[in-house]
């Protein structure tokens, strides 16, 4: 399993070298966009609107837009130093709380935690401590240059770290339009609704749920493959990057436009220009 982060986590004076591994994956079926005319994949270029030209990665800098079209340019070196300054620190569990105290709206992404070299004993100690106490740990961590609030909890036999949103990242419920105010509910309607809930109540089994749309889409794709209704894009033409390549491309274009039947051998463009 791919390691997405490597470092250490501590509670008190106990330090645990760990690795993080993504606990979930996106199963969406990715569809490519093709040119309808020739079935060639569409690519996207980075273009400067001011210069009206394509730019390369080494010509791009990062900046913060603090007002419309007003930017503070940030040096890559400064960003790198800031990232290292935070990433080099061990992750410390700063509080222990009950899981029920955190509303699910705060949860973002889950990572499995595995002990790194010589970390198994301390890893087991933390896992057992969380199990016996019924608590979860609250910590901060830097992942992909972003500081994250996170919780550490036990999931089956493993420790799991789940990143959670900071309070100011959760939008206020007051911003949601058209939420009805408290209204009287007809008791008969409420009783019927509660009865329906009782009839549909069961133990949660995640294996009974599946992505029906994705399954049907994959069935459709396999059906089209079996019917040979597949398409192939034209061979990608090499992009000329110097004069020699340009001459080769021109010569190839001339050769391609020659009549199939010819009795006289024509001179090539290269011979004419030499």
The confidence score (pLDDT) of residue 243 equals 45
Q: Per residue in 222-256, pLDDT tens?
A: 888 888 656 666 655 554 454 445 556 556 666 66
CA distances (Å), origin 42, targets 33, 102, 236, 241: 6, 44, 12, 21
Cβ-proximal residues to 158 (8 Å cutoff; 6+ apart), any chain? 112, 113, 114, 127
d(CA 193, CA 199): 10
| Residue 30 near residue 126, CB atoms below 8 Å | no
> Please, what is the average pLDDT of the chain?
83
Kind of pairing, strands 91-97 and 5-11?
Answer: parallel
Pick the more confident residue, 27 or 229.
27
Please check whether residue 142 is in contact with residue 105, taking contact to mean a CB–CB distance below 8 angstroms: no
Task: Please list the residues that pair with 17 across neighbouring strands.
Answer: 8
- Judge whether 39 and 234 are in contact, CB under 8 Å: yes
Confidence (pTM): 0.69
Is residue 23 within 8 Å of 160, Cβ to Cβ?
A: yes
Indicate if the pLDDT at residue 263 is higher than 60: no
| Pick from 54, 34, 135, 49: nearest CA to 94 | 135
What percentage of the chain exceeds 90 in pLDDT? 35
pLDDT at 266 over 80: no
Structure tokens at 172: 């206020």
Residue 136: CB atoms within 10 A of its CB come to 22
CB 6 within 8 A of CB 19: yes
pLDDT at 85: 62
Are the C-beta atoms of 115 and 20 separated by less than 8 Å?
Answer: no
Q: Please report which helix (H) or strand (E) contains residue 85, including its range.
A: helix 76-87
Q: Quickly state the pLDDT bin for 274 (edges 50, 70, 90).
A: very low
**Strand ranges (E), 51-157:** 53-54, 62-67, 70-74, 91-97, 107-115, 136-143, 146-155
């Amino acid at each position: 399993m791919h390691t997405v982060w490597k470092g250490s986590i501590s509670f008190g004076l106990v330090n645990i070298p760990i690795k993080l591994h993504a606990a979930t994956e996106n199963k969406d079926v990715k569809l490519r966009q093709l040119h309808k005319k020739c079935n060639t994949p569409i690519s996207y270029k980075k273009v400067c609107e001011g210069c009206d030209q394509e730019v390369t990665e080494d010509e791009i800098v990062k900046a913060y837009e603090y007002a419309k079209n007003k930017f503070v340019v940030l040096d890559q070196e400064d960003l790198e130093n800031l990232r290292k300054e935070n990433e080099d620190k061990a992750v410390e569990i700063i509080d222990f709380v009950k899981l029920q105290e955190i509303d699910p709206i705060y949860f973002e992404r889950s990572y499995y935690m595995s002990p790194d070299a010589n970390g198994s004993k301390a890893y087991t100690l933390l896992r057992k401590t969380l199990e016996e106490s019924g608590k979860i740990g609250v910590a901060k961590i830097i992942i992909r240059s972003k500081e994250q609030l996170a919780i550490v909890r036990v999931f089956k036999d493993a420790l799991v770290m789940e990143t959670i949103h900071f309070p100011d990242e959760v939008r206020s419920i007051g911003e949601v339009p058209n939420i009805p105010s408290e209204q009287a509910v007809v008791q008969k309607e409420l009783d019927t609704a509660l009865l329906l809930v009782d009839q549909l109540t069961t133990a949660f089994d995640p294996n009974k749920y599946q992505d029906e749309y994705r399954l049907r889409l994959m069935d459709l794709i396999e059906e089209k493959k079996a019917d040979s209704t597949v398409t192939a894009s034209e061979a990608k033409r090499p992009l000329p990057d110097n004069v020699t390549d340009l001459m080769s491309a021109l010569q190839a274009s001339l050769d391609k436009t020659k009549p199939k039947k010819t009795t006289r051998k024509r001179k090539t463009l290269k011979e004419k220009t030499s």
